[in-house]
C-alpha cells in the first residue's frame, strides 16, 4: 500500500520574526556571513578544529541553496550545510572528511537524489527560540522543493563517552537512547524531528572525542516521493554566459606613467565596448614603467622603483574598472608588503569598486635570486558578479594543488597572467594551464607579454600566445581551446564561455575529475586559512643571465 502524503508540505518562514526586542532571521548563507559562521563554530566545538574561511567559502559556493544561517540581531547563532549526493555514495561506509571533500562540500552532485547534511551547529547560549528546529525545517523544505528522496546525515552521540561503561558498545548505546533508558541531547533532538536511525558509523569523525569518533546514520524519507529504485536527476543544459578578454600586451618604451596608463586604458575600453565581463593583463606588465628611467637600473633597484607605483596603479585601475564597467585582472606588479618584503601581486579590480590581491605563491628561481621576491602565503577565490574566480600568477599554475584549492572553494574560471621569455617557458605554462582546466573542470585564461624593452634588463625578449582554455568534453571546444591569439602579436582575444557547461560536465560528463577523487586514499591539508609563516628560501644563483625565466 502506497504511503499517504502528509496534509501539508514543510513551509519556510519568510522574513524575520521578533522575540521580545530581538529579531531572528533564517536564510541562505552568504559570503559575508563567513566570519560569523567561523566564530560560531569555534564557540560550539571548543574541543575540535574549527573551519577555515576557505572551507566555509567552498561550502557556500558549491551549494548555496543548501547552506543556511540563523541570525539573532544580525549575529550568526546557527548554521547548517548540506549537499546533494547519489544514494550509493550517501549510504556507503565513509567518514566525514571523505564525504565532504575535506570540509569544502565539493562533492555536491546536483544529479544526486538525497540531501546529505554534514554540518549543524547552534549557539548554546541562545535558548528558547528553537533555532535547531528551524534549520531542520529549512533542510526538509529544500528536499521537498527539489523532490529529493530524503535527507541523510551522520549524527553525533556526545554522551556516549560518559555512558560507555553502562552499555555494550555504540549500537547498544543507540538502542538504549531510542528506548529512553539513556539520554543523549543530539540523538533525542534528531529523533524528535522525524529522523530514524539506520546504523552506527564507526570512525566517522576522529576529532569527536565525546562520541569516540562514532556517529549514527539518520534518515528522513520524503513522504511526497514514492520510489522503489534510486533515480538520477538530470542537469538542464542551461546558459550562464560570461565574456572574457585576454590582452596579449606588447612591451614598449613609454615617456611616463600617464602614457603607460593610456595604453592600458585603450584595451580596457575596447574590451568594454565588446561588453566583456573580464579582461586580464600579463604578469609584470608594469615593467614598461622602467623604460623612461635615465639609466638601466639593477634588478634590486628596478623592483624598488616599480613598487613605488603600487598605490597609484591600484587606485587608477580600480577607477577604470568602475568607469568602464568591467572586472580587471591587472596582471601582476611588484609590491612592498608591510613587513618590508617584495611580493609579486595580482590586483583584481572589480566593477563594483572593490579591490582584491592575490600574491604569487611560488616565485621562480630568477625572481628569488635577482629581485629577491618572496612568495605569498594565501590562495583563495575572489567573489565577483560572475561567480567565484581564482588567479594564479605564471609559475603557480604549475602546482596543481593550488588550482584544486580554488576549485574546492568554487572557482569556475582561473586567470593566469604570465611572463615568459622562450617558447619552452611558455609551453610549460600553457600545458599546465590546460591540465588545470581538465582536472578541475574549469576555464583557464592565460595572458602574456610580447616584444622587448630597451634599457630594461629583464625584458630582452618575450614569447606568448595568450588563450582561453576549456575542459575537454562534449560541451566545449573540440581542442579544449575556446580562443587563442596569434603568437607574439599584440592583440585582444575575446570569447564567451558558458559556466553552466561546467556544472553539467562535473555532474554528467564523460569523466568527472572532481567527483572521482579518492578521498579515502589521499588529501591535501592546508594550514589555517591557507596561512603559514614558512621558512626562508635560499637564494641559489640560477644558471644564465638575469631574466624573468617565467614558467
Residue 494 has pLDDT above 90, yes or no: yes
Which residue is catalytic, options 359, 360, 386, 467? 360
Residue 190 has pLDDT above 80, yes or no: yes
Q: What is the mean pLDDT of residues 303-316?
A: 96
% of the chain beyond a pLDDT of 70: 91
Residue with cell 591587472: 330
Cell (9 digits) for 270: 575596447
Residue 7 has pLDDT above 50, yes or no: no
% of the chain beyond a pLDDT of 90: 80
Which residue is catalytic, options 283, 359, 367, 398? 283
Edge-to-edge order in the sheet of strand 67-72: 16-19, 22-28, 67-72, 75-85, 114-122, 150-155, 215-221, 196-201
Average pLDDT of the chain is 91
> Model's pTM, two decimal places?
0.91
Q: What is the mean pLDDT of residues 518-523?
A: 89
Residue 540 has pLDDT above 60, yes or no: no
Residue 68 has pLDDT above 70, yes or no: yes
Query: Where does the pLDDT of residue 441 fall: very low under 50, low under 70, confident under 90, or very high at 90 and above?
Result: very high
**Distance separating alpha carbons of residues 26 and 70, to the nearest angstrom:** 4
Question: What's the length of the chain?
Answer: 551
Query: Where does the pLDDT of residue 98 fall: very low under 50, low under 70, confident under 90, or very high at 90 and above?
Result: very high
Query: Where does the pLDDT of residue 3 fall: very low under 50, low under 70, confident under 90, or very high at 90 and above?
Result: very low
Q: Are 409 and 57 in contact (CB under 8 A)?
A: yes
Residue 19 has pLDDT above 70, yes or no: no
The CB density around residue 302, as the number of other CB atoms within 10 Å, is 22
Q: Are 242 and 378 in contact (CB under 8 A)?
A: no
Whether 360 is catalytic is yes
At 501 the three-state DSSP class reads helix
Strand pairing report for 467-469 and 481-484: antiparallel
Q: What is the mean pLDDT of residues 4-11?
A: 54
Cell (9 digits) for 482: 575556446
More reliable by pLDDT, 101 or 22: 101
Residue 538 has pLDDT above 60, yes or no: no
Q: What is the mean pLDDT of residues 268-284?
A: 98
Q: What is the mean pLDDT of residues 129-146?
A: 95
Residue 454 has pLDDT above 80, yes or no: no
Lowest mean pLDDT across 67-81, 136-150, 521-535? 521-535
User: Which distant-in-sequence residues (6+ apart) come within 8 Å of 85 by Cβ?
Assistant: 99, 107, 108, 109, 112, 114, 116
Tell me what pLDDT residue 276 has: 98
Whether 394 is catalytic is yes
DSSP category for residue 152:
E
Query: Where does the pLDDT of residue 20 fall: very low under 50, low under 70, confident under 90, or very high at 90 and above?
Result: low
Encode 344-399 in three state secondary structure.
Answer: EEEEEECCCCCEEEEECCCCCHHHHHHCCEECCCCCCCEEECCEEEEECCHHHHHC
Residue 545 has pLDDT above 80, yes or no: no
Residue 286 has pLDDT above 80, yes or no: yes
pLDDT tens-digit readout, 109-130: 999 999 999 999 999 998 778 9
More reliable by pLDDT, 182 or 371: 182
More reliable by pLDDT, 495 or 239: 495
Amino acid at each position: 500500500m502506497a504511503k499517504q502524503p502528509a496534509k501539508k508540505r514543510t513551509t519556510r518562514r519568510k522574513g524575520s520574526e521578533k522575540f521580545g526586542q530581538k529579531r531572528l532571521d533564517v536564510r541562505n548563507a552568504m559570503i559575508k556571513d563567513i566570519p560569523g559562521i567561523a566564530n560560531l563554530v569555534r564557540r560550539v566545538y571548543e574541543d575540535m578544529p574549527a573551519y577555515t574561511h576557505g572551507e566555509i567559502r567552498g561550502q557556500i559556493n558549491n551549494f548555496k541553496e543548501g547552506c543556511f544561517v540563523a541570525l539573532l540581531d544580525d549575529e550568526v547563532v546557527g548554521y547548517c550545510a548540506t549537499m546533494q549526493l547519489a544514494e550509493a555514495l550517501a549510504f556507503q561506509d565513509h567518514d566525514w572528511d571523505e564525504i565532504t571533500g575535506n570540509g569544502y562540500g565539493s562533492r555536491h552532485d546536483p544529479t544526486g537524489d538525497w540531501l546529505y547534511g554534514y554540518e549543524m551547529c547552534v549557539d548554546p547560549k541562545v535558548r528558547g527560540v528553537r533555532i535547531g528546529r528551524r534549520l531542520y525545517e529549512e533542510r526538509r523544505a529544500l528536499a521537498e522543493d527539489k523532490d529529493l528522496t530524503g535527507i541523510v546525515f551522520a549524527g553525533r552521540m556526545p554522551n556516549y563517552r560518559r555512558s560507555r561503561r553502562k552499555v555494550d558498545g555504540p549500537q547498544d548505546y543507540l538502542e538504549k537512547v531510542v528506548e529512553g533508558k539513556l539520554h543523549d541531547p543530539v540523538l533525542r533532538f534528531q529523533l524528535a524531528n522525524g529522523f530514524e536511525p539506520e546504523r552506527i558509523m564507526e570512525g566517522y569523525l576522529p576529532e569527536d572525542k565525546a562520541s569516540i569518533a562514532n556517529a549514527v546514520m539518520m534518515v528522513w524519507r520524503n513522504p511526497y516521493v514514492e520510489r522503489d529504485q534510486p533515480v538520477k536527476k538530470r542537469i538542464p543544459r542551461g546558459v550562464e554566459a560570461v565574456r572574457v578578454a585576454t590582452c596579449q600586451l606588447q612591451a614598449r618604451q613609454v615617456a611616463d606613467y600617464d602614457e603607460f596608463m593610456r595604453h592600458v586604458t585603450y584595451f580596457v575600453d575596447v574590451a568594454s565596448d565588446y561588453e566583456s565581463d573580464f579582461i586580464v593583463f600579463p604578469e609584470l606588465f608594469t615593467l614598461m614603467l622602467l623604460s623612461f628611467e635615465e639609466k638601466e637600473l639593477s634588478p634590486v633597484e628596478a623592483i624598488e622603483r616599480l613598487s613605488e607605483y603600487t598605490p597609484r596603479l591600484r587606485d587608477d585601475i580600480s577607477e577604470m574598472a568602475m568607469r568602464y564597467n568591467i572586472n580587471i585582472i591587472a596582471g601582476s606588479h611588484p609590491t612592498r608588503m608591510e613587513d618590508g618584503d617584495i611580493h609579486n601581486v595580482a590586483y583584481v579590480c572589480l566593477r563594483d569598486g572593490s579591490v582584491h590581491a592575490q600574491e604569487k605563491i611560488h616565485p621562480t628561481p630568477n625572481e628569488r635570486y635577482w629581485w629577491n621576491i618572496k612568495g605569498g602565503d594565501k590562495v583563495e577565490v575572489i567573489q565577483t558578479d560572475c561567480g567565484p574566480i581564482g588567479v594564479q600568477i605564471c609559475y603557480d599554475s604549475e602546482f596543481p594543488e593550488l588550482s584544486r584549492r580554488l576549485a574546492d572553494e568554487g572557482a569556475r574560471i582561473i586567470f593566469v597572467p604570465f611572463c615568459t621569455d622562450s617558447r619552452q617557458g611558455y609551453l610549460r605554462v600553457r600545458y599546465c594551464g590546460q591540465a588545470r582546466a581538465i582536472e578541475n573542470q574549469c576555464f583557464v585564461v592565460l595572458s602574456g607579454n610580447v616584444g622587448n624593452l630597451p634599457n630594461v634588463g629583464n625584458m630582452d625578449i618575450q614569447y606568448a600566445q595568450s588563450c582561453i582554455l576549456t575542459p575537454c568534453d562534449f560541451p566545449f571546444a573540440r581542442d579544449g581551446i575556446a580562443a587563442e591569439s596569434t603568437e607574439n602579436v599584440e592583440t585582444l582575444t575575446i570569447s564567451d564561455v558558458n559556466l553552466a557547461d561546467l556544472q553539467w560536465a562535473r555532474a554528467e560528463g564523460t569523466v568527472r575529475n572532481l567527483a572521482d577523487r579518492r578521498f579515502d586514499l589521499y588529501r591535501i591539508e592546508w594550514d589555517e586559512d591557507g596561512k603559514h609563516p614558512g621558512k626562508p628560501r635560499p637564494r641559489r644563483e640560477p644558471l644564465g643571465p638575469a631574466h624573468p625565466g617565467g614558467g
